[in-house]
């Protein structure tokens, strides 16, 4: 047992494998969060602004989908991306691209649902002015998203946090391949199954610290730019 390095020793010695895992985790989850923002924020704004029959159903559905089980998303995408599945010919199963895809699907509902709430509140305030200025549907969406940008940081962080923390989806579509699709969370699961509980816990602490740092950075940026731009 003494020959097993602890997670902190790996950090101090700058272990390249650990560095690679951390980088991949961040790359995958940040990309998924960015993609999900590009898809989910306009979607949420649309759900906030457009009145149509069955809108209440869509809103409830969107809110419920915030709790999508990662393992179900992973399984569904596995069947989709598998060589025997409809998207099999692209051969992206067991690659980082598949992991980004899965996490994006997982967090689009989170970002969309939180965006809808934020945009709807702002729309109540802006409705008369924007209508009086004859702002078209597209202009309304971009205006509201832009003016709500500081609140939307919170929605984005919720999505990113979920992506960084989940293991079910990336495990299934990524395959936890050493040096290729191994992320912080799948590495933790692996070390746990090897009985390396201290190493697993150490990796868990590193993950928590990283997520904490990203949250702090995002909040810091938010506070700083809010002070610059808006009251």
Partner 1 sequence: MMRALMSNLPLLLDDVSVRAGATTILDRITLTITPGAPTLIVGPNGAGKSSLLRLCMGLVAPTSGRISWGGRTDHAPVRRAIVFQRPAMLRRSVAANVAYGLAQAGTLRGERAQRVAFLLERVGLAELGDRPARRLSGGEQQRLALARALARDPEILLLDEPTANLDPAATRSVEDVVRMAAQSGVKVVMASHDLGQVRRLAGEVVFMVRGAVCERAAVGDFFDRPSTSEAATFLRGDLVI
Partner 2 sequence: MGSRLVSFTFAVLFGIIAGSMPTLAEERSIVVASTTSTQDSGLFGYLLPIFKARTGIEVKVIAQGTGQALDTARRGDADVVFVHARPQEEKFVAEGFGVKRFDVMYNDFVLIGPKSDPAGIKGRDIVTALRTIEAKAAPFVSRGDRSGTHAAELALWRQTGIDIASAKGPWYREIGQGMGAALNTASAMNAYVLSDRGTWISFRNRGDLVILVEGDKHLFNQYGIILVNPEKHPSVKKELGQAFIDWLISPEGQTGIAGYRIDGQQLFFPNADKRGR
| Residue 220: partners with Cβ closer than 8 Å, 6 or more residues away | none
Q: What minimum distance in Å lies between the beta carbon of 65 and partner 2?
A: 22
List the interface residues with partner 2, window 40-79 (CB under 8 A).
Answer: none
List the interface residues with partner 2, window 179-218 (CB under 8 A).
Answer: 180-181, 190, 192-197
- Could you tell which of partner 2, partner 1, none binds residue 192, using a CB distance below 5 to 8 A set by kind? partner 2
Tell me which DSSP letter residue 196 carries.
-
Do 58 and 44 touch, CB atoms closer than 8 A? Answer: no
List the interface residues with partner 2, window 93-112 (CB under 8 A).
Answer: 93-97, 100
- Could you tell which of partner 2, partner 1, none binds residue 88, using a CB distance below 5 to 8 A set by kind? partner 2
Cα–Cα dist 50/45, whole Å: 8
| Residue 107: partners with Cβ closer than 8 Å, 6 or more residues away | 32, 33, 36, 40, 159, 160, 162, 163
Q: Which of 28, 37, 75 is nearest to 159 (CA)?
A: 37
Interface residue list for partner 1 (CB under 8 A): 125-126, 128-129, 131-135, 139, 143, 147-148, 150, 229-231
Interface with partner 2 (CB under 8 A): 1, 4, 27, 30-31, 34-35, 37-38, 82-85, 88, 91-97, 100, 142, 145-146, 175-178, 180-181, 190, 192-197
């Amino acid at each position: 047992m003494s020959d097993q390095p602890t997670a902190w020793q790996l950090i101090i010695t700058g272990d390249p494998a650990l560095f690679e895992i951390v980088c991949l985790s961040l790359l995958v989850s940040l990309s998924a969060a960015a993609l999900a923002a590009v898809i989910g924020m306009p979607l949420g704004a649309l759900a906030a602004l457009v009145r149509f029959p069955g809108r209440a159903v869509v809103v409830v559905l969107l809110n419920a989908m915030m709790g999508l089980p990662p393992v179900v998303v992973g399984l569904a995408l596995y069947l989709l991306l598998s060589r025997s599945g409809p998207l099999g010919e692209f051969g992206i199963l067991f690659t980082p691209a598949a992991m980004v895809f899965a996490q994006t699907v997982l967090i689009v509902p989170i970002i969309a649902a939180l965006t809808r709430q934020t945009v709807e509140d702002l729309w109540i305030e802006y409705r008369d002015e924007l209508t009086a200025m004859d702002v078209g549907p597209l202009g309304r969406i971009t205006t509201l998203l832009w003016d709500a940008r500081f609140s939307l940081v919170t929605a984005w962080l919720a999505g990113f946090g979920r992506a960084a923390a989940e293991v079910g989806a990336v495990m299934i579509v990524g395959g936890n391949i050493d040096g290729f699709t191994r992320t912080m969370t799948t590495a933790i699961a692996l070390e746990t199954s090897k009985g390396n509980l201290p190493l697993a816990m150490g990796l868990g602490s590193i993950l928590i610290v990283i997520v904490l740092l990203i949250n702090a950075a995002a909040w810091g940026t938010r506070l700083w730019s809010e002070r610059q731009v808006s009251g």
